[in-house]
Amino acid sequence: MAEKMTGAQIMCEALVREGVEVMFGMPGGAIMPFYYAMYDYRDKLRHILCRHEQGAGHAAEGYARVTGTVGVCVATSGPGATNLVTPIADAWMDSTPIVAITGQVSSAVIGKDAFQETDITGITMPVTKHSYLVKNIEELPTVFKEAFYIASTGRPGPVLIDITKDAQQARTVPNWDVKITLPGYKPTLQGNRKQIMTAVKLLAEAKKPLIMAGNGIIMADATEELRSFAERTGIPVITTLHGIGAFPEDHPLSIGMPGMHGWVHVNRAIQECDVLFNIGARFDDRVTGKVSTFAPNARIIHVDIDPSEIGKNVKTEVPIVGDARMVLMAMLEEMPQRDTTEWMHKIREMQSHHQHRQQYLVREAGTEDILMPHDVYAALTRIMNERGKYRVATDVGQHQMWAAQLIDWYRPRTHITSGGAGTMGFALPAALGAAVACPDETIWVIVGDGGFQMTNQELATIVQEGITNIKVAIVNNGYLGMVRQWQELFEDRRYSHTLLTGPDFAQLARAYGVCGITVEQRGEVEAAIEAAYAHNGPVVIDFRVEREVNVFPMVPQGKSIGDMLTEQPEPTATA
């Protein structure tokens, strides 16, 4: 029984004990002992070889985002590890639980600029929830246990384990009888009773209350509780970019997304509400616009599991530190029923006045045949709903905002995007992780022609792994569209380095062994999407859309969310 194991075997065993089934990575010198050991664990631990460590990191994020469990990525020291920095930073900004495992040069040469030595714990310190540099094999069982615990509890986030090559090669009889002793880490789950009662009272007496639901609802699995709470109180619900899916958009109390590219009536509702009940969103500047003018009439209740988020950006009257689900459950018990018909009516009136999604469907005469980006979303949302069981990974840019605006979102963990960091290149590898986690569902990737060119090499990974449930929709406008939009609106149309040529994406897909389809006509959109479903394998559809279309409505950066641009401003005389 008491057999010696190598550090690398202990790492594998620790992963199995943590319930890990799959990891994403790439081998190299300093992590080779781990890969050596992994070979014997291939029945228990699936390893997916990515084409770039950034892809491995985002895949781990995608996996974590759809499962709610910890995603795992692996890289070697030096450049392997630094390639993980972007996904680690992305996971940090979006509170995604991942554990990144990196090999490190042997302890004897650490600090001597050895081949492929990089101080990765140092480099990632500002963007990790915690990190470990393990030089001693005896620490491995404790470190793995702690790392998974820290990554997945409280406010989730990335944890890095950097392990020297000699620690992987050493041998010992592992002691698995470890308990977690982290006296400085005790997340508060139950909200403070007094604050909860204050919040209940505020909401009960409010004339124009509003619920803002964020990622915290999804991470705490609190969607049912949110629904009960909204239905009991009749309070309308807005869902932030990461709150999408926390509340079904076809619910009569759902009013939509706030913020820079949120809807006018939602931002107006924020400006008008008298109590704003934020659960699990962090008042990001893309949501608040100019903070000093944000929600000027509102008394603010903020529920967050991370105390440091409360009061950080917006002055808060009732802070409640706790788990979204537990706090909602506690509040639900105390909350009286109430009537919000008048307020709801007012919001719906604003909504109809500002046309909401309809404006995108208005076509000027003579433009009916042009392939607009919105045609893609309209067809996609219709067909996805018909087929059911879908999730969507979006990248960063105009196509991302259109996806948030124009697709109907109903279920948690179905909208996977890079919000806090806004990482181009996120979508395809994140979809890879999601596809592995949900083999029975169709994972759509909505990506720009710019972002696709950052990580499209993961198509090779998808093919090699025999993954069939990924369908890619490139909203190809031949521009770094979102940047071009800012240049058009705020920089006198100086299109400085935003014009982008790409390869023929359908041909590129074919070169990878993936089905490629090009769509140039409005009338071909639906057939292409149906064809993608019909094909039993990954598909890339290159939608060559109208090139200079802008995302509206929009709050210009640094402006109040009360002042939205709702349509193309008249060109200035000088332009």
Ligand X SMILES: Cc1ncc(C[n+]2csc(CCOP(=O)(O)OP(=O)(O)O)c2C)c(N)n1
282 binds ligand X (CB under 6 A): no
- Is residue 116 part of the annotated active site? The answer reads yes
Among 480, 525, 541, 561, binds ligand X (CB under 6 A): 480
Least separation in angstroms between CB 88 and another protein: 15
Cβ atoms 305, 185 nearer than 8 A: no
Residue 536 contact, options Mg ion, another protein, ligand X, none, Cβ 5-8 Å cut-off depending on partner type: none
Catalytic residue (choose from 4, 44, 115, 358): 115
> How many Å from the N-terminal Cα to the C-terminal Cα in the chain?
80
Whole-number Å distance between alpha carbons of 223 and 468: 30
The number of helix segments (H) and strand segments (E) in the chain equals: 23, 20
Q: What residue number has its CB nearest to ligand X? A: 448
Amino acid at 466: G
Site for ligand X in 129-188 (CB under 6 A): none
Residue 138 contact, options Mg ion, another protein, ligand X, none, Cβ 5-8 Å cut-off depending on partner type: another protein
- Is residue 115 part of the annotated active site? The answer reads yes
Stated length of the chain: 575
Least separation in angstroms between CB 478 and ligand X: 8
Dig out the tokens for 254 from the structure. Answer: 């759902």
Exposure on the CB side of residue 280, measured as CA atoms within 13 A: 35
Whole-number Å distance between alpha carbons of 85 and 53: 9
Least separation in angstroms between CB 449 and Mg ion: 4
Least separation in angstroms between CB 313 and another protein: 10
DSSP H/E element including 485: helix 481-490
Exposure on the CB side of residue 519, measured as CA atoms within 13 A: 32
Cβ atoms 243, 404 nearer than 8 A: no
Least separation in angstroms between CB 263 and another protein: 32
Q: Where are the alpha helices (DSSP H) in 220-340?
A: 223-233, 264-272, 285-288, 324-334
Point out which residues bind another protein (CB under 8 A).
121-122, 125-126, 129-131, 133, 136, 138-139, 150, 181-185, 306-308, 311-312
Which of 26, 133 has the CB closer to another protein? 133
Whole-number Å distance between alpha carbons of 254 and 249: 5
Which of 29, 307 has the CB closer to another protein? 307
- Is residue 482 part of the annotated active site? The answer reads yes
487 binds ligand X (CB under 6 A): no
Whole-number Å distance between alpha carbons of 483 and 386: 34
> Rounded to 5 degrees, what are φ and ψ at 303?
-100, 125
Show the beta-strand stretches assigned E in 222-369.
Answer: 237-239, 254-256, 275-279, 299-304, 318-321
Least separation in angstroms between CB 428 and ligand X: 11
* Interface characters, 361-400, with ligand X (x: CB under 6 A): ----------------------------------xxxxx-
Amino acid at 467: I
Residue 312 contact, options Mg ion, ligand X, another protein, none, Cβ 5-8 Å cut-off depending on partner type: another protein
Count of residues binding Mg ion (CB under 5 A)? Answer: 6
> Rounded to 5 degrees, what are φ and ψ at 173?
-90, 110
Catalytic residue (choose from 18, 23, 38, 53): 53
Site for Mg ion in 467-486 (CB under 5 A): 477, 479, 481
Which of 188, 228 has the CB closer to another protein? 188
Catalytic residue (choose from 116, 169, 457, 464): 116
CA angle in degrees (0–180, nearest 5) for 357-361-365? 150
Whole-number Å distance between alpha carbons of 37 and 302: 47
Which residues does 371 contact at the CB level (< 8 Å), separation at least 6? 519, 520, 521, 522, 525, 543, 544, 545, 546
Least separation in angstroms between CB 184 and another protein: 5
* Interface characters, 402-431, with ligand X (x: CB under 6 A): --------------------xxxx------
477 binds ligand X (CB under 6 A): yes
Whole-number Å distance between alpha carbons of 303 and 11: 37
Among 117, 272, 375, 449, binds ligand X (CB under 6 A): 449
Residue 483 contact, options another protein, ligand X, Mg ion, none, Cβ 5-8 Å cut-off depending on partner type: ligand X
Site of interaction with Mg ion (CB under 5 A): 448-450, 477, 479, 481
**Which are the catalytic amino acids?**
53, 115-116, 165, 482
Residues in the site for ligand X, rule: CB under 6 A? 395-399, 422-425, 448-451, 475, 477, 479-483
